[in-house]
Amino acid sequence: MRIAGRGMIDRRKPVSFTFDGRRYSGFAGDTVASALLANGQRLMGRSFKYHRPRGVLTAGSEEPNALVTTGVGPASEPNVRATTQEIYEGLAVRSQNAWPSLDFDVMAVNDLASPYLGAGFYYKTFMWPRRFWERVYEPVIRRAAGLGALSGQPNADAYEKAYAFCDLLVIGAGPTGLMAALAAGRAGADVILADEDAVMGGRLNAESEIVEGQPGQAWAAEVVAELAAMDNVRLMPRTTVTGAYDGGMFGALERVNQHRARRGTGAPLECFWRIAAKQSILAAGALERPVAFANNDRPGIMMAGAVRVYLNRWGVAPGKQVAVFGNNDDAHRTARELAAAGVHVAALIDCREGVRVQGAAYPVLSGAQVCNASGRKELEAVTIRTASGEHKIQADCLAISGGWNPSVHLTCHLNGRPTWNADIQAFVPTPGAVPGMRAAGACNGVFSTRGCFVAGLEAATAALEALGRKPVAINFPEAEDAAYKLEPLWAVAGKGRAWLDFQNDVCVKDVAQAAAENFRSVEHMKRYTTQGMAPDQGKNSNVTALAVLADATGRGIAETGTTTFRPPYTPVSIAAMGAGGQGKGFAPERFTTSHAASLAMKAPMVEAGLWYRPSYFPRGQERHWRQSCDREVGFVRNAVGICDVSTLGKIDIQGPDAAKLLDLVYVNTFSSLKVGKVRYGLMLREDGFVMDDGTCARLGDQHYLMTTTTGAAGQVMRHLEFVTQCLHPEWQVHVISVTDHWAQFAVAGPKSRDLLNGLLDAPIDNASFPFMACGAVQLGGVEARLFRISFSGEHAYEIAVPARYGAALFDLLVARAEAMGGGAYGMEALNVLRLEKGHLTHAEIDGRATAGDVGMEAMVSDAKDCIGKTMSERPGLRDPKRGQLVGLRPVGAVKQLTAGAFLFAPGDEAIRENAQGHTSSVGFSPDIGTFIGLGFVTRGRQRHGERLRMVDHLREIEAEVEICAPVFVDPEGGRARG
């Protein structure tokens, strides 16, 4: 229930939301947890394994119990912590891991079976039969144990990724962080202050204390206002710094719109920040740890510090009769503040002997422990053990404190280990664990407000010094400076399950069991029990669990050590990390200048690398792509076809040493190529396998234009840059990609020259422009380049114009070709045309093929060295048993060939060991009238005429094939020269 006059909520602004379909009302500034508590709704979730009823334990992002699902349908988000989710009008919240309802959960039967479900149960029980594991056990177990579920629908929300840069990143805006940011901001440093909470101030907003003569909350608001007014300070509320990485990089998750019902166009739900900071201050505070005792997970049992947050921040009393149990002075504060707020305090139970509280309005039990709790869905009473025995007291809320654990997490993300501090019975950061990072305040083991101010100022001063800036004097605010005294208490002895890890249902006995079974290393214990493996990553349980393990194994806590802290500090949705990568955002789309025209011609587009290319251009009555493809092949063989080949890589190579470079990267010689001529070239990788093939034109004495395949353009460019920058930096040669500058079109077929002569400003003939010639031409006054090269085997050209003219030229070429009985052709026809000629693509030079495999050994020049040559002479690459490129045609009843099928001798069983080769590409040849294929067959070149069995295990197709030469049409090559 609410307490009048307290809290930072706006009571003039009521907000209604639903929880499991029921309408609740809260105020602006409430979280789901605070609003539910204010409404008396304690039960907020069910535990992971035993489906125990659970209430909220904490008031922060470490919350292990109150995990809920927000939103509906594709917008639903599981495992949201009710303690951090701000309410807004219309917010729909659902509980998780309960069926049919949170109040009555069938799977709670697991709790009765708990004697069998302890640590290691699954490992020991579901051993056999082996095949049952994946098919039976795992699905059943996963359904029974769990967290929230995804909707199964594509995520409709927008997410964002962004970068930020600063001199100083301050992580956490409590007293330490505010003071550090203030000092650095006033000194003129570029500061980013990031805090998980919607309202900055940290514990100042949680406690009821006086800072500089005014309430801590007011002081914090004043400082935040001053910081917000500084140009050099950037405030990032609702932003959790989730990881520290090398070189001063940090990951941070900002909840941009999760607190709003209305989100504008393109407004992101979350933003994943990468922050580059020269210096950083960790002011992440500390997390209070529970004490383990029987049934310490009952709804109503909460952290003492969290009870104060609900009281002071949200004006909510978490119970009517509150008992407080702790091992330190901080717990006393909770009792004191509850009493001052008029909440009935049933008792203050302190495990330490001889504790006195002056003028307490409630019973103080010193040297006592809470050893059990009763009530199922709501705490009803706690059992207290004193020297004189056990007795119960009525309480609907128990505030517990086992001390505070500094949030050392980020200091450990670069493999640092924290240091045990016996004074506060907790781990503290090891200085220098993250370069440039200083841990200060509570996360460094300093727990008084004044101490935090001092630490924040000191850390800022040191950071400013490292940044080469002068600190400015700051008036120091007066604040409480109480000593923090505690006596270690991890687990109260006794029967029954005492929870350590609430989220994963790991109890004291499980850790003891792990130790008994010799899983004594803390890392082994973690894996065996799953302690610390839930979304809270052990924030509430780590130190207590290892203290219990230390006790069970007879070691000290420091010696036992911690498990490894890894990013992220809090869960980060994959959607945020992959922001922008949904759908087409996954990769850029590269469009040719003819893209719009191809779409207008209704061509289905296929992806080639990042490029989009037309697959075929359907016409009139054609109902199957093969009909279009056959027709387009006919265009090229009989008239003239037009194809956009701009996607091929084009690399301009210039300089006195250009020829040397080409001779080094190609297996054949280019220094001997005459100006105005084009030559086919093959290049190898360092390891001797074929990297790429293509043509290279000599445009001038020191000027070449290299063409690569579409797919390998980037790889070849990188290769050339490596050669020119690393192998031969002394060479005077420069390579520049001009792929995007030129739009280039193949004009192929017997009527290609006629077509061109209708367009070129000066006509060409066979004498002036023979096969493999190249040169500058003019087309309507536009400077163009013409290459007489042919991938189809026909009399063909490629014409290139600056890209701005590409669209116009394509339209013109297609129109002219259509008038001559031809037209545009797409990738399917292009593939058939090249197959008929046995020309290669990366289906053949797939990274495993040598020059010898593809029948081009003779091209490798003996007169010079080239990259990959030596390695290509390794025995394995010269093995005569290697697959050699052959043609394949069907000769049996089945006429279909498929690519990627394996080839076997007719009598052999179709298993891997018997494979004699494979098919690399196939297509239907209208010229031959059957399917034809290319493939690799062991000793294939000597086996033309032999028959093999093609088996495609995936598509379940089998065909009898005959090995033949890999050139099916015009083997003499006369057509290209004509």
Q: What is the DSSP secondary structure assignment for residue 726, as one 8-state letter? A: I
Residue type, 533: M
Q: Which is nearer to other proteins, 67 or 651 (CB)?
A: 651
> Residue by residue, what is the 3-state secondary structure of 297-308?
CCCCEEEHHHHH
Distance CA 57, CA 298 (A): 10
Supply 165's token pair. Answer: 């840069």
What's the closest the beta carbon of residue 511 comes to other proteins, in angstroms?
44
Q: Which is nearer to other proteins, 627 or 702 (CB)?
A: 702
249 phi-psi bin (left φ>0, alpha ψ -120 to 50, beta other): beta
What's the closest the beta carbon of residue 647 comes to other proteins, in angstroms?
8
Q: Which is nearer to other proteins, 521 or 654 (CB)?
A: 654
Q: What is the DSSP secondary structure assignment for residue 960, as one 8-state letter? A: E
Q: Which is nearer to other proteins, 553 or 739 (CB)?
A: 739
Q: Which is nearer to other proteins, 107 or 807 (CB)?
A: 807
Q: 968, 887 in Cβ contact below 8 A?
A: yes
Residue written as token pair 């599981």: 78
What's the closest the beta carbon of residue 734 comes to other proteins, in angstroms?
3
Contacts (Cβ under 8 Å, ≥6 apart) of 198: 86, 237, 238, 259
Q: Which is nearer to other proteins, 498 or 699 (CB)?
A: 699
Element (H, E) at 813: helix 806-819
Q: Is 866 helix (H, G, I), strand (E, B) or coil?
A: coil
Q: Which is nearer to other proteins, 465 or 761 (CB)?
A: 761
Q: What is the DSSP secondary structure assignment for residue 67, as one 8-state letter? A: E
What's the closest the beta carbon of residue 599 comes to other proteins, in angstroms?
12
Supply 76's token pair. Answer: 């639903």
Q: Is 649 helix (H, G, I), strand (E, B) or coil?
A: strand
Distances (CA, A) of 889 to 161, 404, 897, 935, 969: 53, 77, 8, 10, 13
> Residue by residue, what is the 3-state secondary structure of 484-550?
CCECCCCECCCCCCEEEECCCCEEHHHHHHHHHCCCCCHHHHHHHHCCCCCCCCCCCCHHHHHHHHH
What's the closest the beta carbon of residue 89 comes to other proteins, in angstroms?
19
Distance CA 39, CA 33 (A): 10
What's the closest the beta carbon of residue 779 comes to other proteins, in angstroms?
6
Distance CA 312, CA 321 (A): 17
Supply 712's token pair. Answer: 């390998």
Q: Which is nearer to other proteins, 266 or 468 (CB)?
A: 266
Q: Which is nearer to other proteins, 54 or 816 (CB)?
A: 816
What's the closest the beta carbon of residue 586 comes to other proteins, in angstroms?
9
Q: Which is nearer to other proteins, 254 or 350 (CB)?
A: 254
Question: Omega into 435 within 30° of 0, i.e. cis?
Answer: no
Nearest residue to 81 via CA among 70, 91, 68: 68
What's the closest the beta carbon of residue 693 comes to other proteins, in angstroms?
23
Q: Which is nearer to other proteins, 740 or 865 (CB)?
A: 740
What's the closest the beta carbon of residue 800 comes to other proteins, in angstroms?
11
What's the closest the beta carbon of residue 642 comes to other proteins, in angstroms?
14
346 phi-psi bin (left φ>0, alpha ψ -120 to 50, beta other): alpha
Interacting residue ranges for other proteins, rule: CB under 8 A: 158, 160-165, 190, 256-257, 263-268, 274, 276, 580, 584-585, 587-593, 596, 610-611, 652, 654-656, 725, 730, 732-742, 759, 761, 779-782, 801-809, 812
What's the closest the beta carbon of residue 717 comes to other proteins, in angstroms?
11
Q: Is 828 helix (H, G, I), strand (E, B) or coil?
A: helix
CA atoms in the 13 A half-sphere facing the CB of 135: 5
Q: What is the DSSP secondary structure assignment for residue 264, as one 8-state letter? A: -
Distance CA 175, CA 193 (A): 12
Q: Which is nearer to other proteins, 499 or 742 (CB)?
A: 742
What's the closest the beta carbon of residue 588 comes to other proteins, in angstroms?
4
Nearest residue to 869 via CA among 888, 842, 850, 894: 850
What's the closest the beta carbon of residue 83 comes to other proteins, in angstroms?
25
Q: Which is nearer to other proteins, 151 or 702 (CB)?
A: 702
Q: Which is nearer to other proteins, 36 or 733 (CB)?
A: 733
Supply 527's token pair. Answer: 């894996």
What's the closest the beta carbon of residue 653 comes to other proteins, in angstroms?
8
Strand 742-748 relative to strand 641-644, pairing? antiparallel
Q: What is the DSSP secondary structure assignment for residue 2, as one 8-state letter? A: B
What's the closest the beta carbon of residue 3 comes to other proteins, in angstroms?
35
> Residue by residue, what is the 3-state secondary structure of 92-154?
EEEECCCCECCCCEHHHHHHHCHHHCCCCHHHHHCCCCCCHHHHHHHHHHHHHCCCCCCCCCC
Q: Which is nearer to other proteins, 735 or 851 (CB)?
A: 735
* Residue 94 bridge partners (DSSP): 69
